[in-house]
Amino acid sequence: MKVYQPNEIKNISLLGSSGSGKTTLVEAMLFEGGIIKRRGTIANQNTVCDYFPVEKEYGYSVFPTLAQIEWRQHKLNIIDCPGSDDFIGAVVTSLKVTDMGLIVVGAQYGVEVGTNNHFSYAEKNHKPVMFVVNQLDHDKADYEHTIEQLKENFGNKVIQLQYPLQTGSGFNSVIDVLQMKMLRFKAEGGAPEVTEIPDSEKEKAQKLHNSLIESAAEFDESLMEKFFEEGILSDEEIYKGLYNGVLERGIFPVICVSAANDAGVSTLMDYLVRIAPSVSDSKRPITKDGKSVDPNPDGPTSIYVFKTNVEPHIGEISLFKVMSGKLKEGDDLYNVNREVKERISQIFSVAGQIRNKVEEVSAGDFGATVKLKDTRTGNTLNGKGCDYDFVGVEYPEPKYRRAIKAKSEADEEKLNEILTRMHEEDPTWIVEQSKELKQTILHGQGEFHLRTLKWRVENNDKIEIEFKEPKIPYRETITKKARADYRHKKQSGGAGQFGEVHLIVEPYFEDVPIQDVYRFNGQEYKISVRDVQEINLEWGGKLVFVNSIVGGAIDARFLPAILKGVMDRMEQGPLTGSYARDVRVIVYDGKMHPVDSNEISFRLAGRNAFAQAFKEAGPKLLEPVYDVIVMTPSDRLGDVMSDLQSRRAVIMGMNSEKGFEKLQAKIPLKELSNYSTTLSSLTGGRASFVMKFASYELVPIEIQEKLLKEYEASKKEEE
């Protein structure tokens, strides 16, 4: 494979919903490009891109797969992304390093939630978009309805370059309104036969052709002038206008194919060469210090590792993009993120599981290498004299969580190593060792996402694991003022222990001052503030510790010990053992002994006085509540609403957006345990949602009482 220059390279993310035929399309493109001699199928589990055992098991793409194809003196670097929302991290990663999204839409389903989601991510990353309407040979294909949906969702920027003469089993030709020709496809695929447009289609084709010319002319002043003067543009001028329009996200061209029959695929590749943005014209990558980096082959060498795979018999394979300069076999680079040197011993071009050695890769191009000793996904590696450090990928918040453990305790350490490795492969698998919950929590994008990890651990690494419902990280707080005192006294020969602490607790609210006088049971307690410590708790909220000791009742050297005692109970709240938060503690009196008082005595006295006061201060449980946005088809809105109401959801808003209903709600984490699975079941996989932590809110009293009983029962079992 020759070394390509930035103006000859097209970096493309292949996007679209599950079942739209992306992997089948890549297979046909690889066949057309001569990379493979025979096209595989998903059903036969022999496609080049879905080659991992777990992908063959489930019949879905799980990982983003790079396919590099030479075509018409250009190089197409295509990343085939999974369609399932559970693997959205692959889409985000891919769009980080490519220059355009090629969104595949199945003609029998039309625009789906996944189509919208992927388009939104392309939009967020300011990446141009082209659409491919696939599966036009399907009995239920409805091209006109699909075009209506595309225009409804994405506006008049959607411009048809082609339309099918007919759909279904008889699909074998399209009208190309740019070339103003009919393209008839052979049964075996390949280059089409080019013929004249039938008379019956000429009026429609001419109308679309005129619309195409107008759109193309908008993005070049000279073309606009010529169009107004002459009313016509040459094919080359139309291509120029389309290229600029696509680059500026002003045109979203639509092309027709049947990937399964290799019909229209070579024409699609021709269009990618002509109108997909080249690296040289695309948006520049930005470093963490805000520097824009040109893809200059003569610049300093810098590569960005965007994906790490672990494969049997090979080990780690690092996929990278050359951001600047040239990378050659044997180059020594410096990893700026991990501060280690790496030698690039081998470089490969990649087409799924097919890899061929190359000696050099130039700026803007992709490649792969093996056996980097300490490089991870998202790392930047530089040559001598280069200090680039590229901004990493911002991944979506997780939506599904399970406690994970090995069935055999002997495998726990090995399991943790595997989970760390798998997080490096897919950063949207997040592993949390929760000291609070005493569980290992695995976070992901959905049930299928975590089930995929489980399958790999059990089948590839041969460790039996189990998922359990994770505990909820409740918080404890108080709702009113209370007072308590506690004397710790112990005498058993030798030095004794003595410490007495009197304190007041009250809810902490920002900007609410400390009172001068507190009243409890008809008695007044005057407060003279000597010192205030405001502690931001690592689990959220605050503890405000007030020293109001007067007259030397407790020596100042014992105050830190009292604070430690209070923190002991904040870390294991009196109600359910959950973390406590947002409490103000005022230590106003106490007693000490000239000989027996020590730090441990006051720590224990402080802990017990705080626990007593806390229980008298209207203690309440708080639960984590999340902001949730659901996108659902209109015909499923009623079912989705009913389900949300059963989950204690508070609906914050609802509106229509791009052909779908958008629901905004606040939902307790406890009620979101199986939401991704239920939503998929209710909507046939056509809905999606995102969630983000919002706040801690009071637990309803009946649920609090149930939780307190469960905690008391668990404590008795431990005894």
Q: What percentage of the chain has pLDDT greater than the value 90?
A: 79
Distance CA 327, CA 343 (A): 11
Q: What is the DSSP string of 642-676?
A: HHHHTTT-EEEEEEEETTEEEEEEEEEGGGGTTHH
Instruction: Give 599-645 pLDDT, tens digit per residue.
Output: 999 999 999 999 999 999 999 999 999 999 999 988 899 999 999 99
Confidence of residue 211 (pLDDT cuts 50, 70, 90): very high
Domain boundary among 445, 471, 497: 471
CB distance 68 to 351 below 8 Å: yes
* Per-residue tokens: 322: 């050359």
- pLDDT, position 177: 96
Q: Are residue 439 and residue 409 in the same domain, yes or no? A: yes
Residue 194 forms part of a structural domain: yes
Q: Are residue 600 and residue 641 in the same domain, yes or no? A: no
Q: Are residue 357 and residue 317 in the same domain, yes or no? A: yes
Confidence of residue 314 (pLDDT cuts 50, 70, 90): confident
Distance CA 465, CA 175 (A): 55
* Per-residue tokens: 206: 């001419």
CATH at 497: 3.30.230.10
- pLDDT, position 504: 98
Residues in a beta bridge with 402: 442
Instruction: Give 226-245 pLDDT, tens digit per residue.
Output: 877 777 888 899 999 999 99
Distance CA 614, CA 574 (A): 7
- pLDDT, position 493: 66
Q: Are residue 661 and residue 598 in the same domain, yes or no? A: no
Residue 261 forms part of a structural domain: yes
- pLDDT, position 425: 85
Number of domains in the chain: 5
Q: Are residue 605 and residue 646 in the same domain, yes or no? A: no
Confidence of residue 718 (pLDDT cuts 50, 70, 90): low
For the segment 95-110, the average pLDDT, to the nearest whole number, is 96
Encode burial over 426-440: b for 16+ CB neighbours within 10 A, e otherwise.
Answer: bbbbbbbeeebbebb
Whether residue 348 is predicted with pLDDT greater than 90 in this model: the reply is yes
CATH at 463: 3.30.70.870
Q: Are residue 63 and residue 118 in the same domain, yes or no? A: yes
Confidence of residue 144 (pLDDT cuts 50, 70, 90): very high
Q: Are residue 606 and residue 675 in the same domain, yes or no? A: no
**Between these two residues, 371 and 267, which has the higher pLDDT value?**
267
Cα dist. 203→200, 207, 212, 452, 702 in Å?
Answer: 7, 6, 14, 52, 70
Instruction: Give 415-424 pLDDT, tens digit per residue.
Output: 999 999 889 8
Confidence of residue 699 (pLDDT cuts 50, 70, 90): very high
Residue 709 forms part of a structural domain: no
CATH at 264: 3.40.50.300
Mean pLDDT of the chain: 93
Q: Are residue 12 and residue 161 in the same domain, yes or no? A: yes
Confidence of residue 251 (pLDDT cuts 50, 70, 90): very high
Residue 368 forms part of a structural domain: yes
Q: Are residue 84 and residue 155 in the same domain, yes or no? A: yes
Distance CA 422, CA 550 (A): 58
Whether residue 686 is predicted with pLDDT greater than 90 in this model: the reply is no
CB distance 489 to 591 below 8 Å: no
Residue 711 forms part of a structural domain: no
Helix ranges restricted to H, 218-264:
221-230, 235-247
Distance CA 719, CA 170 (A): 75
* Per-residue tokens: 356: 């061929």
Instruction: Give 490-536 pLDDT, tens digit per residue.
Output: 877 667 899 999 999 999 999 999 999 999 999 999 999 999 999 99
Distance CA 671, CA 646 (A): 9
- pLDDT, position 61: 79
Distance CA 14, CA 160 (A): 19
CB proximity list for 152: less than 8 A, separation 6 or greater? 111, 658, 659
The top-scoring range by mean pLDDT among 32-46, 117-131, 212-226 is 117-131
Instruction: Give 184-199 pLDDT, tens digit per residue.
Output: 999 888 899 999 999 9
> Which SS3 state, helix, strand or coil, does residue 179 take?
coil
Q: Are residue 77 and residue 199 in the same domain, yes or no? A: yes
Domain boundary among 592, 618, 644: 618
- pLDDT, position 578: 93
Whether residue 59 is predicted with pLDDT greater than 80 in this model: the reply is no
Cα dist. 420→8, 40, 417 in Å?
Answer: 38, 33, 5
* Per-residue tokens: 291: 């520097």
CB distance 457 to 474 below 8 Å: no
Distance CA 614, CA 694 (A): 26
Q: Are residue 34 and residue 143 in the same domain, yes or no? A: yes
Of the candidates 324, 430, 429, 329, the one whose C-alpha atom is nearest the C-alpha of residue 381 is 324
Domain of 367 in residue numbering reads as 302-382
Residue 520 forms part of a structural domain: yes
Q: Are residue 543 and residue 506 in the same domain, yes or no? A: yes
Amino acid at 47: T
> Which SS3 state, helix, strand or coil, does residue 621 take?
strand
Domain boundary among 595, 618, 641: 618
CATH at 327: 2.40.30.10
Residue 431 forms part of a structural domain: yes
- pLDDT, position 560: 97
Residue 652 forms part of a structural domain: yes
- pLDDT, position 277: 97
Of the candidates 319, 316, 315, the one whose C-alpha atom is nearest the C-alpha of residue 304 is 319
* Per-residue tokens: 230: 């002459």
- pLDDT, position 719: 57
